[in-house]
Structure 1
Amino acid sequence: MTLTLTVADEVRALVPGFTPLAVEARGLVNGPSDATSSALLDDAARRLAARLDGRAPHEDQHVAAWREAYSAFGAKPSRTRNSAEALARRALADGGLPRINLLVDAYNAVSVAHLVPVGGEDTDRIRGGMRLLRATGTEPFVTAAGGREVVEHPEAGEVVWCDDEGVTCRRWNWRQGVRTRLTERSVNALFLLEGLAPMPLTALEAAGAELAETLEKLSPGARITVHGPA
């Protein structure tokens, strides 16, 4: 992997059984959402509905495990939901899933279909390696509010993804920062799929394989590599 990806011991001790899987992609072609990416999202919503069979997303064992993980570092999971649960709720609602751009639509579809948190980062905007750790509370987090960029800080002890410049995603996988997010100009990306027990490793690997296949279809000629669990 071009970028280093590390998980702090303090996070592994807090939530045993955490398994990240990375999909590295270079030479991607991004652009506005289109009929193809919209179809991916619609299909994911149908697969989710069949999987849940009338249950709420938080009743799924994997989503329930993420709620417990959020509680472990002090977050309120019913108010700040992990990304998989938040997307699943939108997929089942009348408005459906948002259309962002080709690459974001692709990883959101995998997240919804497999009920696994998935994030995408523009590797050309990442500084140094990616680290999952418990914040001191002083790290900068660039987000958007009122149509402009603002700098916030995580709470002390909060689990965050960060690089050398600051936080890239708050509360594990709750809110991504604007600095490293995938835009229509992104050509190189790192996608992180995050599993917790009781999600089997084979299920996490299947989600990663599906994302890799989708990226290859959206960007023929792109170099896609799936890196096993870290």
Structure 2
Amino acid sequence: MHFQHASDIWRDFPGLAPGAIFAAGLTGDVSADEQVARFGELAAKRLATASEGELPEVQAWRRAFSAMGLKPTQYRCASESLLRRFRKEGALPRLHPLIDLCNAVSLAYAIPVAVFDVSRISGYVEVRRAAGDETYLTFAGGTEHPPPGEVIFADADGRAHARRWTNRQSGHSAVRDTTTDVLIVAEALHDTAGKDVESLTAALAAELSALWPVTPRSALLTPAEPRFTFAT
């Protein structure tokens, strides 16, 4: 299997810096409480001096959403939505140790982090513009068809695993109690995106190894080397 961005995504968003991680052998019976608290403290310190909308990481995604024809305060990137809820409520709901960890890392770095159960993906995942015939499953169980031109995460069967790029993932490939193998993707567009995604990817891979008996594989993608290949 592999993960990549279409060439026109790289062309239209030249500041893009993606990082990808593959990990196999995960379970839902560990505690990520210490990690969640530690990364949450980092996020709280940033939010003590600036709102999420003032952070350069979020501002870059707002500009990208505007460029895609989306109202950025109506459709927010995933990290902004998490930060907004964290600022208002002081914590995020606990869902699964892996999701809790990735959400906490996303908060600390203000960078969207997507997690996909690879057993629910066909062939590959490509960030590309929709043709209009792809299928997206909501968390409520409904079916949607992203309009032509919308940036989605698509697999070989034409299933959209995320809509509006970093706005919302699909319920189809969401992590569940039976999930063991995952693809994790972090993407940023701000001025220091490259080094920040590198730091995030390294930190998250280290936390995965500390919590589970796994050996994550990771890569930083570029226009010259846009594909991350992994075995399931």
Same fold (TM over 0.5): yes
Q: 1:169 aligns with which of 141, 162, 166?
A: 162
- 1:27/1:223 contact within 8 Å kept: no
Aligned twin of 1:20:
18
Q: Does 1:228 align with 2:220?
A: yes
- 2:17/2:220 contact within 8 Å kept: no
SS at match of 2:44: helix
Aligned twin of 1:9:
7
1:138-160 Cα offsets, whole Å, 9 max, x none, are 21101133xxx221011221111
Matches within 5 A, 1:209-224: 209-219=202-212, 221-224=213-216
Structure 1 residue 135: Cα displacement: 1.0
Equivalent pairs: percent with the same residue?
A: 32
Q: 1:184 aligns with which of 160, 177, 180?
A: 177
- 1:88/1:115 contact within 8 Å kept: yes
SS at match of 1:223: coil
Aligned length: 221
SS at match of 1:215: helix
SS at match of 1:124: helix
- 1:20/1:195 contact within 8 Å kept: yes
Q: Which runs of 5+ in 1 are unaligned?
A: none
Aligned twin of 2:115:
120
SS at match of 1:21: strand
1:12-50 Cα offsets, whole Å, 9 max, x none, are 22222112110110111224xx7x423433332321121
Aligned twin of 1:90:
85
Q: TM-score, normalised by structure 2?
A: 0.89
Aligned twin of 2:196:
203
Aligned twin of 1:193:
186
- 2:115/2:184 contact within 8 Å kept: yes
Distance 1:11 1:168 in 2: 17
Distance 1:161 1:91 in 2: 26
Distance 2:17 2:195 in 1: 12
Q: Which runs of 4+ in 1 moved over 3 A?
A: none
Q: Does 1:144 align with 2:139?
A: yes
SS at match of 1:182: coil
Report the residue type matching 1:142 in the other structure: L
Relative to structure 1, the CA distance from residue 144 to residue 201 in structure 2 (aligned partners, 3 Å threshold; closer, same or farther) is closer
- 2:151/2:163 contact within 8 Å kept: yes
Structure 1 residue 174: Cα displacement: 1.2
Distance 1:222 1:138 in 2: 37
Report the residue type matching 1:14 in the other structure: D
1:93-112 Cα offsets, whole Å, 9 max, x none, are 12521111011011111100
Matches within 5 A, 1:48-67: 48-67=43-62
Distance 2:112 2:193 in 1: 14
Q: 1:79 aligns with which of 66, 74, 97?
A: 74
Distance 1:154 1:42 in 2: 36
Distance 1:120 1:202 in 2: 21
